[in-house]
Amino acid sequence: MGFNAGNWLDFTAIVVSIVALSLALFSWRKSYAVERRMLEIEEARDRAAELQSGKANLTARLERKSKHSHVLIVCNGGPGEARSVSLQLDGKPASEYPCGQQVPDRINCLLPSGEARYIFVPNLSVRLPRSIQIAWEDDSGQPGRLDSHL
């Protein structure tokens, strides 16, 4: 029993089939790995977007209201609500800062697009605050913080 042309063709067909099957399995495995990685990236993006949607973004500014008074405005420009907002003016709790109106150390909740306003009436013994420090919690799970000059 020797190899004739028909046997060689059968052998060659089997080898080519095995090689094709191996390449198909290799391609499927690579494709599966790429799809799995794309799914992981998409899930990470979804988690990041979810965190951003719960993030508060607080800002503060001091505006002149009249010749003798100013208004401190704390705004939430983020899509999430800010909770347990603590305020410090010039490095000390806001309630200890002398002004025309009592400024609380803590705001319980500041909704998206919400703001808190406090009137300052400076005189010879009371000057306007120069800096503000704000700390807050929101649904992003990361503590928020703002250190700013007014």
Encode pLDDT of 26-35 as tens digits: 999 999 999 9
User: Among 4-8, 39-43, 129-133, 142-146, which is the least confidently predicted range?
Assistant: 4-8
Same domain, 29 and 68: no
Q: What angle do CA 132, 133, 137 make, to 5 degrees?
A: 140
Same domain, 128 and 77: yes
Sorted by sequence, the CB contacts under 8 Å of residue 106 that are 6+ apart come out as 84, 85, 86, 87
Same domain, 91 and 138: yes
Six-digit token pair at 76?
Answer: 């939430």
Same domain, 86 and 118: yes
Q: Check residue 135 and give its pLDDT.
A: 93
Q: How does pLDDT run across 60-95, given as a tens digit for each residue?
A: 998 988 888 888 899 998 888 999 899 888 888 888
Same domain, 48 and 62: no
- For residue 75, what is the domain's CATH number? 2.60.40.2890
* Number of domains within the chain: 2
Query: Minimal CA–CA distance to 69: which of 115, 126, 132?
Result: 126
Domain hosting residue 23, numbered range:
1-53
Same domain, 4 and 33: yes
Q: Which of 53, 79, 95 is the last residue of a domain?
A: 53
Q: How does pLDDT run across 87-139, given as a tens digit for each residue?
A: 888 888 888 877 656 677 788 888 998 998 888 887 777 778 889 999 999 88
Same domain, 103 and 127: yes
**Between residues 50 and 21, the one the model is more confident about:** 21
Q: Which of 53, 70, 94 is the last residue of a domain?
A: 53
